[in-house]
Amino acid sequence: MDVFRAIEQRRSVKHFDPQHRMSPQETRCLLHNALLAPSAFNLQHWRFVLLQDPAIRQQVRQLAWDQPQITDAALLVVICGDRNAWQRQPQRNWAHLPETQQGQILTAIDQYYRDKPQVQQDEVIRSGALAAQNLMLAAKALGYDSCPMIGFDFTAVGQLIELPADHAIVLMVAIGKKTREPWPRGSQLSLEDVCFSDRFTRPCQLND
């Protein structure tokens, strides 16, 4: 499937076949593609918790307004992020570089994140969101559908998955075999509504 078709056909699906089992190879393929997302300084803040125990799925469903995707998806991933990725051995993210270049990047990373909790948190959300989109597009290409989700109690789910104190939950992604079509696509804002030329006060002319 080419990327334009995957983008066009990805929709948020809410009803999955609870009997469908995803093979370990398919699961690995999807997660491998998530790992190829870009991240600032290649810090790869994402951490993935796969909810595999049916009992935990039931508990999470109760914490998520009883949304059926939680129990019925073949794969349910809590995408988290490490706020301290910037200081958790960042040299391993640049291990292939000669020592001098590695040193320059490590200095830049330190300057960018040290004592900046808001930037550390924002970075987790940026990286996790990019990984989620890779995951959902790869799922589409593999014949699956998906649903990104924030409709759950983050604090309670964090406790259930034993989220480390310096990590944050970004969102969940449910992936499975669709049993019902999604709602018709919502209204899209136009390019004119959302694109500007140099300044917000200048509309962008995109006509030929």
Ligand X SMILES: Cc1cc2nc3c(=O)[nH]c(=O)nc-3n(C[C@H](O)[C@H](O)[C@H](O)COP(=O)(O)O)c2cc1C
Would you tell me which residues interact with ligand X (CB under 6 A)? 11-12, 14, 67, 147-151, 171, 182, 185-186
As measured in angstroms, the least distance from the Cβ of 192 to ligand X is: 20
Nearest to 65 by CA among 14, 127, 138: 14
Task: List helix spans (H) across 44-86.
Answer: 54-62, 69-72
As measured in angstroms, the least distance from the Cβ of 148 to ligand X is: 4
User: CB-wise, 31 or 79, nearer to ligand X?
Assistant: 79
As measured in angstroms, the least distance from the Cβ of 128 to ligand X is: 10
User: CB-wise, 15 or 167, nearer to ligand X?
Assistant: 15
User: CB-wise, 153 or 166, nearer to ligand X?
Assistant: 153
How many C-beta neighbours within 10 Å does residue 6 have? 16
User: CB-wise, 74 or 109, nearer to ligand X?
Assistant: 74
C-alpha–C-alpha distance, residues 143 and 200, integer Å: 40
As measured in angstroms, the least distance from the Cβ of 155 to ligand X is: 16
Residue nearest to ligand X (CB): 151
Query: Do 196 and 31 meet the contact criterion of CB atoms below 8 Å apart?
Result: no
User: CB-wise, 165 or 189, nearer to ligand X?
Assistant: 189
| SS3 state at 200 | strand
As measured in angstroms, the least distance from the Cβ of 113 to ligand X is: 24
C-alpha–C-alpha distance, residues 14 and 146, integer Å: 8
Query: Do 74 and 16 meet the contact criterion of CB atoms below 8 Å apart?
Result: yes
Nearest to 174 by CA among 19, 44, 70: 70
C-alpha–C-alpha distance, residues 176 and 6, integer Å: 15
C-alpha–C-alpha distance, residues 140 and 137, integer Å: 5
User: CB-wise, 31 or 147, nearer to ligand X?
Assistant: 147
